[in-house]
Amino acid sequence: MVYTCEYESPLGRITIAASEDAITGLWFIGQKYYGQGLPKKRIEKTTPLLEEARRWLDLYFSGKEPDFLPPLQYGSTPFRRQVCQIMLTIPYGHTMTYKAIAEEAAMRLRKENMALQAVGGAVGHNPITLMIPCHRVVGTDGSLTGYAGGIERKVALLELEKADMTGLYVPKEKSAASRHRVESLRC
């Protein structure tokens, strides 16, 4: 059985899903791929595991690095699970490029190389946002792209973690030549 509850974050409401044993989903309501993999038959009920996830989110949104991670379960392809495992190694307040993830995935899967588009797809379909920190993945050139929760949230999450934003930017209209510095997003 899958249980769900909602969490009110400073960046919008979040739906959390869990089985008896692990967190299986965490999405900002309305984000791209919202609820992907969430069965139609589920029970809206707070369980001890969902309370643990809420405690994790309380710590995270207070600007502190949580010192625990609830058990996670994400069903998908072996490749996507591998990408999620790599994202779990990105330290709080740091970033990693899609290229670095592709290189690490290729090494772990004993492949010569890995397509960046495949990595981008796996990152974008991350079913447990925040806990599996896809918001910490950036383009090799520093572009802040590809966050299913929206670029504004990605910027806000990196700022919350006090990540070094030097060299990071939000591309305008998919044009790599025209850069819109992250500083211009701040009020």
The reply to whether 134 belongs to the active site is yes
Bridge partners of 137, per DSSP, are: 96
CA 34 to chain CA mean position, Å: 12
Of 5, 84, 134, 187, the catalytic one is: 134
Active site residues: 134
